[in-house]
Amino acid sequence: MSLKRLALTLALILCLAPAALAQNIFEEEVVNEKYALLGANLALLAVEGGYKYVDTATLKQWMDEKKPMVLVDTMPFEASYQKGHFPGAKQFLFPIPTMTAWDNAETEGKSQEDFVAMLGADKDALIVFYCGFVKCTRSHNGALWAKKLGYTNVYRHPGGLYAWKGAGFPLAK
């Protein structure tokens, strides 16, 4: 499935799924509009970044199968990672606004070379980025920069910590 087709499918699912939550057609449309805009934004980010998405259940399955991957938490170390992160995840802070140029100040003083060292030399390795929740775009920046630096098998887990916890999966500390 092409990246654009995947992005459009995701947008459609997010648009239609919440309809059952509304009590009348007018409330339904307000809910649909909210999720349509969110889905459209996610689709645009994926197209911009050139990465794919992975949902919570699939990521957990990959982890249970011990599929080799680099799992990256893109949130602040002390405020988030230290309190709880996905088992086996490494930490590398990225800012929330789209990072168009590498700025060491926004990555806790870490350089592109530090980022590449953490990801490893295998440009075809499976790499998954996550942050806190769907609207958080730190994981977008991580995935975007991995793709810019030549990594080919890059995913973003948009639900992040909230979806992981919501599914009842454990965090490491």
Question: Per residue in 122-163, pLDDT tens?
Answer: 999 999 999 999 888 999 999 999 999 999 999 999 999 999
* Residue 16 pLDDT > 60: no
**pTM tops 0.85:** no
**Helix H segments across the chain?**
3-16, 25-49, 56-64, 112-119, 138-148, 160-166
Specify whether the backbone of 160 is left (phi greater than 0), alpha (psi in -120 to 50) or beta: left
DSSP string, 120-154: -S-TTSEEEEE-SSTT--HHHHHHHHHHHTT--EE
pLDDT band, very low/low/confident/very high, at 32 (cuts 50, 70, 90) = confident
**What is residue 34's predicted lDDT score, i.e. its pLDDT?**
78
Q: Measure the CA dihedral 42/165/173/91, to 10°.
A: 0
Q: Which helix (H) or strand (E) holds 170?
A: none
* Amino acid in the structure at residue 83: K
Give the chain's mean pLDDT.
87
Question: Per residue in 54-85, pLDDT tens?
Answer: 999 999 999 999 999 999 999 999 889 999 99
What angle is formed at CA 50 by the lines to CA 46 and CA 55, rounded to 5 degrees? 50
* Nearest C-alpha neighbor of 169 from the set 75, 71, 70, 41: 71
